[in-house]
Amino acid sequence: MMVAIRCVHCVYTPADNYLIDCGSPTNTSIGDRVFVADVSLSSTLAPPSNNLANTSQNSVPSVPTSYGTALFRDARVFTEPSSYTFQIKAHGRHFVRLYFFPFVSGGYNLAAATFGVSTQDVVLLNDFQPRANATVVKEFSLNITSNTLILRFAPSGSTSLAFVNAIEVVSVPDNLIHDTAKIVDPQGKYWGLSGQALETMYRINMGGPQILPGNDTLWRTWENDQKFLLNADLSRSASFAGKITYMDGNTEEIAPEVVYATVVELAAAAQNTVGANINVTWQFSVDANADYLIRFHFCDIVSGSAGEIVFNVYINSWLASEVDLAQITFNSLATAVFMDYVLKADDASSKLSVSISPSSVINGLPNAILNGLEIMKINGSAGPAVVVVPPGSNKSFGIILGSILGAVAVVVVAIILCVVLRKRKLAKQSSKTWVPFSIDGLTSHSTIADARIAGSIRPESLRKFGETIEKCLADSGVERPSMGDVLWNLEYVLHLQDADPSVSEIDSINRITELSPQVQNINTIFDSAPAPAPAEEVGTSVLNDLTDVSMSKVFSQLIKSEGR
């Protein structure tokens, strides 16, 4: 999925903004944010816990200055399952950040702790054991639909511990995560992302410095890309001092301007090699057997004019997209764009790579760019069902629908022709009375079939066809079937006709042994029918009627004994 962004310069104010310094006796200020001591929020913690741990500032490893060391000096320790409860003012997407630093304090060795963290809807961490002598901030993006968020900490064993140093629960714009994304392999579309729980694995600023939380409106950290870059000699960094343009009503919450103002592109030597197959690749360690949402950030700040760069993007060697930024941004330079892709678990391994490479469709010097990258693990245990549409499904549906509607059109034309011919015959007889088809005084379906094919039509198929016509001609509108029902019945007629001839004739409850009066007097109905609706209305009606087909009606057709 491709999205262009237009910036509306404003400061985002979250509706929910819980900043908790766990285990601390006093509040802690980090920049312009205040983390409240959880001792003053006893009502949020259940059961109440007096297990506190603290360490000296000197024992905390160096961490980004925007986080500071203060948040890692204290911890709330749990010897039994415990939870924090937060009242949610605004349903929707929230960041939940959990701060961890294992240290030894009194009788607690937090480095030996193994525990799980969950909400009432999703497991965030399972058998988690923070790495000794290292700080870590786990960030999750959750779609919260209830009035409360419960964060539950549970030791993994009877002798284990759980702990947390600080907690953030902050609402973010819902459009931060769109509902759909392209699937890399097999190519298709992934639905349901807006309801999924996501864990941030990596957030990378290509070609620029690390961006600390204080310089991001949503308090995010963006790492520098150098330690992930495999072939640094094939690339170079560039920066831009001008104004970045955001489009489509979004803001810097998607990514700050500084991300789009720096870029990695092909090195000069690589750009001077026309036709060369050159890839710039970054590689990341990830959890295997998981789905990943991968977001690319692009902004052409290196071209002299729009349209100079067309390039390919690869994920794990799979071609994700051919990118023509000029087409997306309407020939504008320095315009921010992001593109979302999903890598399914079948293609995921412990290593995830992304690459950029010049496209062969452009005649100029080759180049490719990347400004930023986000990799988020999709937690499949939360949110609505995910719908994956394989490639060609829309085309296949169109073919199927077109075929069915074509069959309906043929039937309608056949009926109209029958009516016209019959009216001409009756006009010659100076009578408007429909004379029933009769064999030995009885009306019969077989007599309405073309004599050239009458012998090859299966009786049960013809009866079902007659039944469908009869219902379509019912006097009351509520008794007439929807177009969806007509389509299913016509398909069933076809299946009955194609069934194995050795199968005995069915005795359906829908069987019509005689032509109904409605069918016998079809000319009268057509004489009094209103003028046909315009084609546009008919098309809309057909599509609307398709939504009326119930699954029970569908499966009622499948229980018949004839071969399918």
Residue 421's pLDDT is: 57
Q: How confident is the model at residue 268 (pLDDT cuts 50, 70, 90)?
A: confident
Q: How far is CA 100 from CA 97, 168, 441, in A?
A: 10, 12, 91
Tokens of 131: 């790495």
Asked if the model's pLDDT at residue 442 lies above 80, the reply is: no
Tell me which range, 18-22, 156-160, 430-434, is most confidently predicted by mean pLDDT: 18-22
Rounded Cα distance between 400 and 406, Å, is 10
Asked if the model's pLDDT at residue 121 lies above 70, the reply is: yes
User: 449 by DSSP, 3-state: which?
Assistant: coil
Residue 403's pLDDT is: 46
Residue 530's pLDDT is: 46
Q: Are 124 and 199 in contact (CB under 8 A)?
A: yes
More confident residue, 59 or 206: 206
More confident residue, 62 or 133: 133
Q: Count, in order, helices (H) and strands (E) of the chain.
A: 10, 32
Asked if the model's pLDDT at residue 532 lies above 70, the reply is: no
Residue 93's pLDDT is: 97
Residue 52's pLDDT is: 83
Rounded Cα distance between 40 and 379, Å, is 33
Question: Mean pLDDT across the stretch 517-545?
Answer: 42
Task: Give every strand in the sheet of 351-358, ordered side by side.
Answer: 280-285, 351-358, 310-315, 318-324
Asked if the model's pLDDT at residue 281 lies above 50, the reply is: yes
Residue 7's pLDDT is: 40
pLDDT tens-digit readout, 381-420: 554 545 565 555 444 444 444 444 455 455 555 565 555 5
More confident residue, 561 or 300: 300
Residue 187's pLDDT is: 82
Residue 497's pLDDT is: 76
Tokens of 57: 């500032």
Rounded Cα distance between 515 and 463, Å, is 9
pLDDT tens-digit readout, 9-23: 457 899 999 999 999
Asked if the model's pLDDT at residue 558 lies above 50, the reply is: no
% of the chain at pLDDT higher than 90: 50
Q: Are 336 and 247 in contact (CB under 8 A)?
A: yes
Rounded Cα distance between 164 and 179, Å, is 32
Q: Are 291 and 343 in contact (CB under 8 A)?
A: yes
Rounded Cα distance between 253 and 250, Å, is 8
Asked if the model's pLDDT at residue 526 lies above 90, the reply is: no
Q: Which of 119, 170, 126 is nearest to 148 (CA)?
A: 119
pLDDT tens-digit readout, 411-425: 555 565 555 556 555
Question: Mean pLDDT across the stretch 184-201?
Answer: 92
Question: Mean pLDDT across the stretch 351-356?
Answer: 96
- Number of C-alpha atoms within 13 angstroms, CB side, residue 554? 7
Q: Could you tell me the pTM of the whole model?
A: 0.69
Q: How confident is the model at residue 230 (pLDDT cuts 50, 70, 90)?
A: very high
User: The tokens 């205040």 sit on which residue?
Assistant: 34
Tell me which range, 426-435, 476-485, 525-534, is most confidently predicted by mean pLDDT: 476-485
Tokens of 537: 């209305």
Q: Are 89 and 246 in contact (CB under 8 A)?
A: no
User: The tokens 């419960």 sit on which residue?
Assistant: 150
Residue 254's pLDDT is: 96
Residue 481's pLDDT is: 78
Estimate the share of the chain in helix, then strand, then coil, as percent rounded to the nearest 5: 25, 30, 40
Average pLDDT, the chain: 78
Q: Which of 420, 396, 373 is nearest to 205 (CA)?
A: 373
Rounded Cα distance between 425 and 504, Å, is 38
pLDDT tens-digit readout, 19-48: 999 999 999 999 899 999 998 887 788 887
Rounded Cα distance between 500 and 562, Å, is 7
Domains of the chain: 11-172 (2.60.120.430), 200-389 (2.60.120.430), 403-558 (no CATH)
pLDDT tens-digit readout, 473-521: 877 665 677 776 777 678 777 867 776 554 444 343 333 344 444 444 4
Rounded Cα distance between 464 and 480, Å, is 15
Rounded Cα distance between 109 and 107, Å, is 7
Asked if the model's pLDDT at residue 289 lies above 50, the reply is: yes
